[in-house]
Amino acid sequence: MRKIVYILFFWILSILLNDSGVIASLKAQQNVLSPVFDLSIEKPVTFPSLNFSLYNLNFNKNNEYFNSIHEGYTLFGTQLFPKLVYSPSEKISLEGGVFLLNDFGRKNFSDIDPVFTLRYHTNHLQLLFGNISSDHAHRMIHPLFDFERAIHNRVENGSQILLDFPFLWTDGWMNWEKYIEHGDPFREEFTAGLSTVFKTVEKTEGNQFKLPVQLMFTHKGGQIDTDPSPLETFFNAASGISNQYTLTNGTKYSFSLFYAIYRDLSPAKLTPFHLGDGWLSELDINTKYLQFILEYWDGNRFLSRNGGPLYLSQSKDDFSVTESSRKLVTVRLIHEMSPLKNFFLSARFEPYYDLNHTLLEYSYGIYATYKLMTDL
């Protein structure tokens, strides 16, 4: 109970500060990346230019779970992502730096990754090679892409194409997760994905209809390694409809309905379920002070290598634990604010109810992000 009171106190304090004009509320629109988790940097205004960029995320997420599919745990730590950005012209930039992850309670860094990106960009197109836009930036639904990838799977390397038009947004990427050389005792691993949103141009002010399409392949295999495990290839897809309406006071209402599928395309299938599907419906109300999301998931033998563990029919903690049917009602309460320039705070409280087991559990999280972009 004290944990819930702690979260509620944070929200009440945020509202009071907002009313006094000290803090501006930052409500992320549906399918638009929150500034707390947004790794993107500002584009320089003069060329050529050399800039220093810094991203720092501090997180404390506690999962109070006691179910058989996904065990509870706490994520508490910090990310630091400094890099240099050289832009010889308006369309080209070279970025190099290092990503650091420190999980509190460990003596050493959990992750140290040097990163490099070659970025070509125009008004509507971006091409990235090296370190690519990752996790939440793909705008995938949680059954396909876990929210917590922004904490422990932040770095994605490969290639990416991004398109952004009034009627279309697209993210196509290849994340090469594990490279092998001849004789390595492990398999190569990669994920290929496509996330697209077809949008109607708003003819009626405040109303927009969207058609999202999401595809993802995950693969483990290779010919030159010594791992005797068979090749594994999984396919996930989701598509649906979404309608968003904005009131004159800025409150946004949206409803989304997705149908998702899973297929095990491996020649020798080792998973307990070889195909599955699920329905995801979501009501999103985004006000000045609070974002309220009501979600229902009805999954049948659904699996995803990168998906949120609660949605899946096989435990990621113990592969022998399976549930062919997963029926979950989830509520998300989110408040975000910016008390200072370049400084962002977010609080999330997410209870869910498992209809099959009449089980009520919850998670909560506090996130603080600081961003900096300066000329050298």
Residue 322, class by beta-carbon neighbours within 10 Å (0-12 exposed, 13-18 middle, 19+ buried)?
middle
Is the Cβ–Cβ distance between 53 and 41 less than 8 Å? yes
Stated pTM of the model = 0.89
Q: Which domain holds residue 217?
A: 2-39+115-375
pLDDT digits (tens, 9 = 90+) for 187-240: 999 999 999 999 987 655 678 899 999 999 999 998 898 889 899 999 999 999
Cα–Cα distances in Å, from 164 out to 167, 195, 246, 330?
8, 12, 21, 31
333 domain-assigned = yes
Q: How many C-beta atoms lie closer than 10 Å to residue 204's C-beta? A: 9
pLDDT digits (tens, 9 = 90+) for 272-295: 999 999 999 999 999 988 999 999
Helix (H) or strand (E) holding 150: helix 149-152
239 domain-assigned = yes
128 domain-assigned = yes
42 HSE (CA, 13 A, CB side): 15
98 domain-assigned = no
Q: How confident is the model at residue 327 (pLDDT cuts 50, 70, 90)?
A: very high
Sign, CA torsion 33/35/39/40: positive
pLDDT digits (tens, 9 = 90+) for 160-191: 999 999 999 999 999 999 999 999 898 999 99
**How far apart are the C-alpha atoms of 7 and 332, rounded to whole Å?**
13
109 domain-assigned = no
177 domain-assigned = yes
71 domain-assigned = no
**How far apart are the C-alpha atoms of 90 and 94, rounded to whole Å?**
12
Amino acid 247: pLDDT:
86
230 domain-assigned = yes
**How far apart are the C-alpha atoms of 366 and 346, rounded to whole Å?**
6
**How many residues in total does the chain contain?**
376
CATH of the domain at 181: 2.40.160
Mean pLDDT, rounded, for 4-10: 47
Q: Domain tally for the chain?
A: 1
Instruction: Report the share of the chain in percent with pLDDT over 90.
Output: 78
